[in-house]
Amino acid sequence: MGVKEKARIMDAEAIRRALSRIAHEIIERNRGIKDLLVVGIRRRGVPLAQRLCDRIAEIEGARPAMGILDITLYRDDLTTRSEQPVVHRTEIPVDVKGKKVVLVDDVLYTGRTIRAALDALMDLGRPELIQLAVLVDRGHRELPIRADFVGKNVPTSRKEMVELRLNEVDGTEDMVLIVEKD
Amino acid sequence: MRLKSKHVLGLREMEAEEINLVLDTADSMKEIIGREIKKVPTLRGRTLVTLFYEPSTRTRTSFELAGKYMSADTVNIATTTSAVVKGETLKDTARTLEMMGTDVLVMRHPISGSCHLLARTVSCSVINAGDGMHEHPSQGLLDLYTIRQKKGKIAGLRVAIVGDILHSRVARSNLWGLTKLGAEVVVTGPSTLLPPAAQELGVRATSRVEEALEGADVVNVLRLQLERQKGGLFPSIREYSRMFGVNRERLALAKPDVLLMHPGPMNRGVELSSEVADSVYSSINEQVTNGVAVRMALLYLLLGGGEAA
Amino acid sequence: MRLLISGGRILDPQRGVDGEGDLLVDGDRIGEGTRADRVIDARGLLVVPGLIDLHTHLREPGFEYKEDLVSGTHAAARGGFTTVVAMANTSPVSDCRATVEWVIGAARARAVVNVLPVGAVSKGQKGEELAEIGDMAAAGAVAFSDDGKPVTNGELMRCALQYAAMWGRPVITHCEDRQLAGEGVMHLGYWSTVLGLRGIPAAAEAAMVARDIMLAELTGGRLHLAHLSTARSVELVREAKARGLAVTAEVTPHHLLLTDEAVATSGFDTDTKVNPPLRTPADVAALLEGLRDGTIDAIATDHAPHHQDDKDVEYNYAASGISGLETALALVLDRLVGQGLLELGQAVRALTAGPARVLGLDRGTLAPGAPADVTVIDPSREWTVEPALFASRGRNTPFKGWKLRGQAVLTLVGGRIVHEAIA
Split into its structural domains, chain A has a count of 1
Cα nearest neighbour of C188 on chain B: B196
Cα nearest neighbour of B307 on chain A: A82
Per CB-CB distance under 8 Å, the chain A contacts of B308 are 82
Chains B and C touch (3+ CB pairs under 8 A): yes
Written as one letter, the residue type at C98 is: A
B196 → closest Cβ in C193, C314, C316: C193
A1-14: pLDDT as tens digits: 567 888 999 999 99
Residue B309: what pLDDT? 35
B206-256: pLDDT as tens digits: 999 999 999 999 999 999 987 777 778 899 999 999 999 999 999 999 999
Beta strands in C167-284 (DSSP E): 171-173, 186-187, 199-200, 223-225, 247-251
C287 touches chain B (CB under 8 A): no
Written as one letter, the residue type at C374 is: V
Q: Which residues contact C133 (CB under 8 A, 6 or more apart)?
A: C119, C121, C141, C144, C160, C163, C164, C167, C169
CA distance B77 to B233: 34
Q: What is the mean pLDDT of residues C332-346?
A: 97
B305 → closest Cβ in A81, A88, A125: A81
CATH of the domain at A124: 3.40.50.2020
Q: What is the mean pLDDT of residues C2-9?
A: 96
Residues A178, A162 contacting (CB under 8 angstroms): yes
Strand, helix or coil for residue B215: coil
Among the listed residues C214, C232, C235, C212, the one whose alpha carbon sits nearest the alpha carbon of residue C224: C212
Element (H, E) at C359: helix C353-359
B300/A87 touch (CB, cutoff 8 Å), yes or no: yes
| Substitution target from C265, C314, C316, C317 for chain B, most B beta carbons within 10 A | C314
C282 touches chain B (CB under 8 A): no
CB pairs under 8 A between B and C: 67
Confidence of residue C187 (pLDDT cuts 50, 70, 90): very high
Task: Give the range of the structural domain holding residue A133, as residue numbers without chain letter.
Answer: 3-181
Give chain B's end-to-end CA distance (angstroms, integer).
Answer: 11
Q: What is the mean pLDDT of residues C294-320?
A: 96
Chains C and A touch (3+ CB pairs under 8 A): no
Partners of chain C (3+ Cβ pairs below 8 A): B
State ipTM.
0.91
C23-45: pLDDT as tens digits: 999 999 999 998 999 999 999 99
Give chain A's end-to-end CA distance (angstroms, integer).
Answer: 7
CA distance C282 to A53: 71
A89 → closest Cβ in B2, B27, B37: B27
> What's the pTM?
0.91
Per CB-CB distance under 8 Å, the chain B contacts of C190 are 196-197, 200-201
**Strands ordered across the beta sheet of B184-188:** B204-206, B184-188, B158-162, B218-221, B259-261
Confidence of residue B263 (pLDDT cuts 50, 70, 90): confident
3-state DSSP of B234-268: CCCHHHHHHHHCECHHHHCCCCCCCEEECCCCCCE
A 64-103: CB under 8 A from B:
70, 73-74, 78-91
CA distance B241 to B263: 18
C 179-208: CB under 8 A from B:
188-190, 192-199
- Catalytic annotation, residues of C: 302
A59-95: pLDDT as tens digits: 999 999 999 999 999 988 877 777 788 899 999 999 9
Per CB-CB distance under 8 Å, the chain B contacts of C196 are 112, 131-135, 167, 169, 172
Residue B308: what pLDDT? 44
CB pairs under 8 A between A and B: 64
B24 touches chain A (CB under 8 A): yes
Cα nearest neighbour of A76 on chain B: B42
Q: What is the mean pLDDT of residues B13-32?
A: 96
CA distance C281 to C254: 12
Per CB-CB distance under 8 Å, the chain A contacts of B305 are 78-79, 81-85
Cα nearest neighbour of A97 on chain B: B36
DSSP letter at C334 equals I
Counting Cα atoms < 13 Å in the Cβ hemisphere of B198 gives 20
CA distance B147 to B294: 13
Q: C264: burial class by Cβ within 10 Å (0-12, 13-18, 19+)? A: buried
CA distance B206 to B226: 21
Residue B80: what pLDDT? 66
Per CB-CB distance under 8 Å, the chain B contacts of C268 are 112-114, 116-117
Q: Is the pLDDT of residue A133 over 60?
A: yes
For helices B16-33 and B284-303, give the axis angle rounded to 10 degrees: 110
Give the 3-state secondary structure percentages of chain C, helix then strand then coil, rounded to 5.
35, 25, 40
Backbone angles phi, psi at C290, to 5 degrees: -65, -35
| Residue-averaged pLDDT of chain B | 91
A82/B24 touch (CB, cutoff 8 Å), yes or no: no
CA distance C9 to C20: 4
| Residue-averaged pLDDT of chain C | 97
Q: Is the pLDDT of residue C15 over 50?
A: yes
Among the listed residues A149, A146, A101, A145, the one whose alpha carbon sits nearest the alpha carbon of residue A121: A101
CATH entry, C47-359, from 3.40.50.800, 3.20.20.140, 1.10.1740.10, 2.60.40.10: 3.20.20.140
Residues C96, C138 contacting (CB under 8 angstroms): no
Written as one letter, the residue type at C75 is: A
B122-176: pLDDT as tens digits: 999 999 999 999 999 999 999 999 999 999 999 999 999 999 999 999 999 999 9
Per CB-CB distance under 8 Å, the chain B contacts of C267 are 113, 116, 119-120
Backbone angles phi, psi at B278, to 5 degrees: -60, -35
Q: What is the mean pLDDT of residues A37-48?
A: 95
B35/A87 touch (CB, cutoff 8 Å), yes or no: no
B41/A79 touch (CB, cutoff 8 Å), yes or no: no
Residues recorded for chain C: 423
B28/A70 touch (CB, cutoff 8 Å), yes or no: yes
Confidence of residue B306 (pLDDT cuts 50, 70, 90): low
Residue B288: what pLDDT? 85
Per CB-CB distance under 8 Å, the chain A contacts of B70 are 73
A87 → closest Cβ in B28, B306, B308: B28
